[in-house]
Structure 1
């Protein structure tokens, strides 16, 4: 492959109307690649740090310092690299930044650049991104996790739980999984309007509800699955992102909607009751990131029944995944590109998850763009699952629709992951 000839960064806007970083790469052969940095609302304390300008403009969220750093330092350092040398380029970016959390040049600058390099290499090879990263491996389209109700930090804490999602467990294709979800989403909106609890949509496009309790949200979700003509727990299961770090610290959890303050044991008991009562197949971040003992205890109690996903707890970090696996915490890892900061580190985390028998779920962030790279990576890396947000808003639907195109293309993956990829121990 040819060498990198030009690097250009610009400020664009994400789905929340906040600035973010976009990078274009051009090779000597004329291949082009573009990477865009997403942004999260609920963030793990150990994930790669975005570089924001601070000050008054855009509530301190501008990214012109990060963009200047790309032009001043990253672009000259990239010049002359073979575009196919992803691991070497990412290692150079990490060294150039020189901080443990990527805070000097910014995780947003690094991931946008790293993704742009990957896209340019795939373009030069004349391959779809998923096929380029898959190589000769037979891969499958991922099973979607799709938000129906948005809560937590995505909806001004109207409900404590951040994501109430569905997984079409009986679907036999990516397209069918989306069809089933579309029906559930439609009927959820109808039921909410009938109950008078519809309040618009949250950050990721899920319905923004005014429920009186977290349990009411799940009651309505079960009713929505039934109204759509499906059997809860057979055709469609529930996935929750508790995002417990948002309301828990030091083994104490404050549930505002339930007007309750729970210790770790009581929080675990509450979640176990939910598992018994509702058709839950996956729970993400059930305990806070600082509650390792709680995460181990919950995995021991529920890991044979449901998928237990580490997000803030693992932050797409191979070393943290290996440590958690050695202690029996979680059985699945959420994989987010900008948590890690480079493509290579993201892939290392996914490989660590697979090596330790964890399921893996490639995930978008609440502050998203029209970029569809994660659909290709979830497919080409054979991750098994994909979490993008809701079945609404164009930055979400761009990704779901890209999965349909991959499945319907002339060259297509070997099949669909289906519910067999959900973790069980």
Structure 2
């Protein structure tokens, strides 16, 4: 049985130029496996906590303490453990940390170790990571949710909604879905240029123009879909990540156009019911089939209303609401607050807990969407995770920026490896 011989960590930079961790694991047969840890900008308040150094170095965002934790306590705890004891190893780290939110060791330190163990075990088994994670069921290529206009915390523009996405549901294969997305992305760039709009991109690779409204962004995307030669709704649908916690005023319990307010422009504010009605009107007017974080994470009543009004028509996705945590997901299931969960490995901090969240979602008829973070690396673990666990959906950014493209390229490799057994999903598990 192959075992962990050594674990060490290195401070590297993520796609925003902020420090993060790379964990390097050496197994008893001499193989080396690595995993790099992402970081979010728009984060749920209940996410597992990253270990950051504070102080002035890297503006307080250094991870030297997390590196020391990997190289010291975690390495000492796990050296000699079998590579194939994933759940045991993850539980050992959780127990040794001893806090509810991984505050002592840091979710970034724990996650880097957890993912590197899985990679090492896959390598030792002689199987691709997706096959090691999922076995025979690992043959569904996920429908990509491509973020082609950025707003919110991911862009310095006037849009409070964080992501405007396309879903190429009409593709026959994953590679065709990528081609469709790329063509629409470049069509959108041409349209923006013609209108003398900004064509610089945000954190996740989508364009970040200063637009007057969410509707204007949706109209531009529809125009790009048609310009690229595709049919909205039947071939390509739209999806939103509102990230509503970012523009929710807890004191007044209102949703407001915060960016316009901060720029001393006329802004709109809405109650929870008005926010639900607004989202419903967008679904009626545009081919939107998925809305993520349409309401704030603490607004459970609003979420229940949203799911009641739209849950039978479209996908209602909880991200900040659930933070890949089974305790919050169970509450959402009981309250009928959504019908899908966004899966981010660093929100919870171990592979075992991530897989438990996906399994609980599937057991209760929820969809699951494996997702990147806005602060990414070129690590492609989530591509294998989406295929391995058959989530049939992935959200990993636009058709630009290398840290986003690396995930798509890995999925293209997986599709080629699977050959005729590969099945492209339109995003519907059922």
What TM-score, normalized to structure 1? Answer: 0.97
Unmatched segments (≥5 aa) in structure 1: none
What is the CA–CA distance in structure 1 between the aligned matches of 2:7 and 2:391, rounded to whole Å? 30
Deviation at 1:415? 1.3
Answering whether residue 286 of structure 2 is matched by residue 283 of structure 1, we say no
Answering whether residue 332 of structure 2 is matched by residue 330 of structure 1, we say no
SS state at 1:88 partner: helix
Deviates more, 1:27-36 or 1:351-360: 27-36
Which of 261, 282, 295 is the matching residue for 1:274?
A: 282
What is residue 237 of structure 1 aligned with on the other side? Answer: 237
Which of 241, 255, 259 is the matching residue for 2:257?
A: 255
Deviation at 1:412? 7.2
What is residue 31 of structure 1 aligned with on the other side? Answer: 31
Deviation at 1:157? 4.8
Deviation at 1:389? 0.7
Deviation at 1:158? 2.7
Which of 351, 371, 379 is the matching residue for 2:379?
A: 371
Deviation at 1:294? 0.2
SS state at 1:9 partner: strand
What is residue 423 of structure 2 aligned with on the other side? Answer: 415
* Structure 2 CA distance for partners of 1:419 and 1:104, relative to 1, 3 Å: closer
Deviates more, 1:130-139 or 1:158-167: 130-139
What is residue 112 of structure 1 aligned with on the other side? Answer: 112
What is residue 203 of structure 2 aligned with on the other side? Answer: 203
What is the CA–CA distance in structure 1 between the aligned matches of 2:333 and 2:104, rounded to whole Å? 31
Deviation at 1:420? 3.1
Aligned residue-pair number: 422
What is residue 50 of structure 2 aligned with on the other side? Answer: 50
Judge conservation of contact 2:49–2:103 (CA < 8 Å) in 1: yes
Answering whether residue 365 of structure 2 is matched by residue 357 of structure 1, we say yes
Answering whether residue 388 of structure 2 is matched by residue 380 of structure 1, we say yes
SS state at 1:420 partner: coil
Q: Deviations over 1:206-228 (max 9, x none)?
A: 01111111111111111111111
What is the CA–CA distance in structure 2 between the aligned matches of 1:260 and 1:411, rounded to whole Å? 51
What is the CA–CA distance in structure 2 between the aligned matches of 1:322 and 1:416, rounded to whole Å? 30
Deviation at 1:139? 3.2
What is residue 318 of structure 1 aligned with on the other side? Answer: 326
Unmatched segments (≥5 aa) in structure 2: 261-265
What is the CA–CA distance in structure 1 between the aligned matches of 2:389 and 2:426, rounded to whole Å? 16
Deviation at 1:55? 0.9
Please, what is the CA RMSD of the aligned residues?
Answer: 1.3
What is residue 73 of structure 2 aligned with on the other side? Answer: 73
What is the CA–CA distance in structure 1 between the aligned matches of 2:168 and 2:127, rounded to whole Å? 30
Matches within 5 A, 1:169-188: 169-188=169-188
What TM-score, normalized to structure 2? Answer: 0.96
Matches within 5 A, 1:35-184: 35-184=35-184
